[in-house]
Amino acid sequence: MKRWIALIFLLIAVIMLAYIFQVPQPENIKPLGEFYLENSYFGDYSAKSPEVVTSILWDYRGIDTLFETAVFFLAIIGSLTIFRLTKEQEKEVKKEPTQVESLPLPIRTVTKVIVVMILAVSASIALHGHLTPGGGFQGGSALAVAPLLIIAAYSKYALEEHGLDKTRALILRSIGLLGIALVALVPLLSGGFIMQNQPIFPAEIGGQLISGSLIYYNLFEFLAVGAGFTAVFLLLSIPEEKFKKILGVKK
């Protein structure tokens, strides 16, 4: 009964506070918002991206986004450092145990279908980043679910046999990072500022709206985030016994 009284009191308090501190309704657009709207979509130096948020994120607040990306990469590098192994240990970890048990057939079949769908959807999220909500990071996170599902339904060895091991994932991730850095630096060469979008990159190619540098940023971020997550998932799926063997833990 006491809990009910507390709950009702809390509810009343929340409703009262919400009633008292009403958010003032904006009567007109604030000057900063007006500037962004006019210059990110309509202006001569805009990326002509209907998804203005992406445009603002990569152009007007580009450095901020660059450092956000850097934070994510530091996290990945940190986990790779924790799980670092020598060459022999890598080989030991990659060696497949004699009998790998996998889940029953229906689960594996459904996983195959779903993985293909996830790949398609994640690519669509990333490549539509300048047209619809979403973008590189979201697409990359969706992409990382595909290897995770394969690890769960088959095993990490199935992924490595088909060529996606930790080294390859790291190479893909580095390509993505390098791409982002290069796209950010290209405007400097032609007299612009760092991470400036127009008019250095064309807004349209062959009648298709690609919104200048936004599509490149999204593509490379997609690659980098997806591959970075995959590398971490591959490390996390190393069996515990192998690590105990490597570390020399006595039972």
Partner 1 sequence: MSVLFYIGALLIVIGGICDLFGALGLLKFPNFYVRLHAATVGTIGGAVVPLFGVALLALGADFLPHRYAIAGASFITGIIVLLAAPAGAHALAYAAHKAKLVEWKPKVDHLKEVRE
Which residues would be at the binding site for partner 1 (CB under 8 A)? Answer: 103-104, 106-107, 110-111, 113-114, 117, 152-153
Distance set, CA 223 to CA 143, 176, 191 (Å): 9, 5, 29
CB of residue 101 to partner 1, shortest distance in Å: 8
Q: Tell me whether residue 111 or residue 237 sits nearer to partner 1 (CB atom).
A: 111
Q: Tell me whether residue 75 or residue 107 sits nearer to partner 1 (CB atom).
A: 107
CB of residue 114 to partner 1, shortest distance in Å: 6
Q: Tell me whether residue 142 or residue 195 sits nearer to partner 1 (CB atom).
A: 142
CB of residue 149 to partner 1, shortest distance in Å: 10
Q: How many CA atoms lie within 13 A of 170 on its CB side?
A: 11
Q: Which residues are within 8 A (CB) of 74 and not within 5 positions of it... i.e. 6 or more apart?
A: none
Reduce the secondary structure of 15-53 to three states and give it as a string. HHHHHHCCCCCCCCCCHHHHHHHHHHHHCCCCCCCCCHH
CB of residue 184 to partner 1, shortest distance in Å: 35
How far apart (Å, rounded) are the C-alpha atoms in residues 93 and 96?
Answer: 8
Joined tokens for residue 170? 């790291």
Q: Tell me whether residue 14 or residue 103 sits nearer to partner 1 (CB atom).
A: 103
